[in-house]
Amino acid sequence: MDEVLLMIPGPTTVHPRVLNAMSKAVINHRSAKYGELLTETSELMSDLFKTQNQSYLLTGSGTAAMEAAISNVLNPGEKILNVVGGKFGERFMKIAEAHGISCDELAVEWGTAVTPEAIKEALDNDEDIKAISIVHNETSTGVAAPIEKIGKVMKDYDALYIVDTVSSLAGDDVDVDKYGIDVCITGSQKCIAAPPGMSAITLSDDAWKCAENVDSNGFYLDMKAYRKSGDKNPPETPYTPSVSLTYALNEALKMIQEEGVQNRIDRHHKAAKASVEAVKALGLELFADEKVSSTTVTAVKMPEGITDKEFRGTTRDKYGVELAGGQDHLKGNIFRIGHMGNISYKELLQTFGAIGMTLKEFGVIDDAGAGVSSITKSYC
């Protein structure tokens, strides 16, 4: 089988240990054995979020957790401030709109990050804002927002702090309790490197207080139901969870623990820095403002002389490296390198080799090895 190396911002390559965990016998989800698996996996998730609060597992991709984060804490008509600097910020706003929540958009130019000052100003100008939503790592643009600094601002306001860490948790610094995040969510298939299909959410006491006052929080993603089932002995989920994916997520989280969360984050920082340097060495231009560029995905402007189809088609079909394209108005204008999950210099050498050879083949650059050479310098 021709394996294609996934260098996209999710799903990421899943380790054989995690794949094997998924092939365990499917057990009764209302049994002591599943209760143990659920408890352990939720605890590992809370450790990763760095929170004392309970984490809940949802069977559903990251977007399910995004929806749960919004729909459980706000009533229709209540106001949310949505920070929108890319596709996922936009998604939070669309979800809120779909639930009849009143949305204020804080628009940020794609490729740049929101500032804590802009958040402060927006909150000062409107006392009715009940919550803000922000995407830590805007995967569509390769930008990381300053969620720690924004957390400091949020401490002066009652508004809930809702953060999407789908493409950053386990790949960049996230400290839910220290940053004062009220609702934090993530997905299985990005930096955690489990297969897609599961997500997680954690809520602070303040968020739960808001949830108590919401009576239209939907059905499948009603977090009160998850809390009630989770409090049973043995703990359960309200509806049948993906037992196999829970095994996979559990194993992936154990692998993260074995590596050490900080080591893993450092590895992502190193890969991001090496990628940025290699992009420059190839004479290509970064899309995102380098000061706020992501630790897990690097967005690059598509050079003149090659189309997106030619470029990504060749890296994939000829060199076995799958890269991501741009979304919306960035389609065809940028490509994105996902360096999240289990990747290190080996994968980056292959990736930048593929990029260099493809660009040389199309006459865009002369030195096909400049990126690879740069990667070697970053790692030795």
Smallest distance, ligand PLP to C-beta of residue 130, A = 21
In whole angstroms, how close is the CB of 139 to ligand PLP at the nearest point? Answer: 3
Site string for ligand PLP, 62-101 (x = CB under 6 A): xx--x---------------------x-------------
DSSP letter string, 314-335: HHHHTT-EE-EE--GGGTTTEE
Q: H/E element holding 297? A: strand 297-301
- Judged by beta carbon, residue 68 or residue 81, the one nearer ligand PLP is 68
* Residue the block writes with tokens 């790692």: 379
Tokens representing 293?
A: 């560029």
Nearer to ligand PLP, 166 or 223 (CB): 166
Q: How far is Cα 107 from Cα 83, in angstroms, rounded to an integer? A: 6
Q: Of 51, 61, 293, 350, which lies in the binding site for ligand PLP, with binding defined by CB under 6 A?
A: 61
Alpha-carbon span 343 to 191, nearest angstrom:
10
Q: How far is the CB of 158 from ligand PLP (least distance, A)?
A: 26
What's the min distance (Å) between Cβ of 169 and ligand PLP?
10
Q: Which of the 8 DSSP states describes residue 172?
A: B
Q: Does 110 bind ligand PLP (CB under 6 A)?
A: no
Residue ranges of alpha helices (H) inside the chain are 16-21, 32-49, 62-71, 87-98, 116-125, 147-154, 176-179, 205-212, 223-230, 243-259, 261-281, 308-317, 345-361, 370-379
First to last CA, the chain: 32
The CA angle 218-221-224, to the nearest 5 degrees, is 85
3-state secondary structure of 161: strand
**Minimum distance from CB of 272 to ligand PLP (Å)?**
15
Site for ligand PLP in 127-186 (CB under 6 A): 135, 137, 139, 164, 166-167
Check binding of 197 to ligand PLP (CB under 6 A): no
Q: Which stretch binds ligand PLP (CB under 6 A): 58-66, 171-179, 238-246, 275-283?
A: 58-66
Give min distance, CB of 244 to ligand PLP, in A: 17
Can residue 12 be called a binding residue for ligand PLP (CB under 6 A)? Answer: no
Q: Name the residue nearer to ligand PLP (CB basis): 62 or 151.
A: 62
Sheet of strand 102-107: strand arrangement: 55-59, 198-203, 183-187, 160-164, 129-135, 79-84, 102-107
Q: How many residues lie near ligand PLP (CB under 6 A)?
A: 14
For the bound state, the minimum distance from the C-beta of residue 342 to ligand PLP, rounded and expressed in Å, comes to 17
Which one, 80 or 370, has the nearer CB to ligand PLP? 80
Binding site for ligand PLP (CB under 6 A): 9-10, 61-63, 66, 88, 135, 137, 139, 164, 166-167, 187
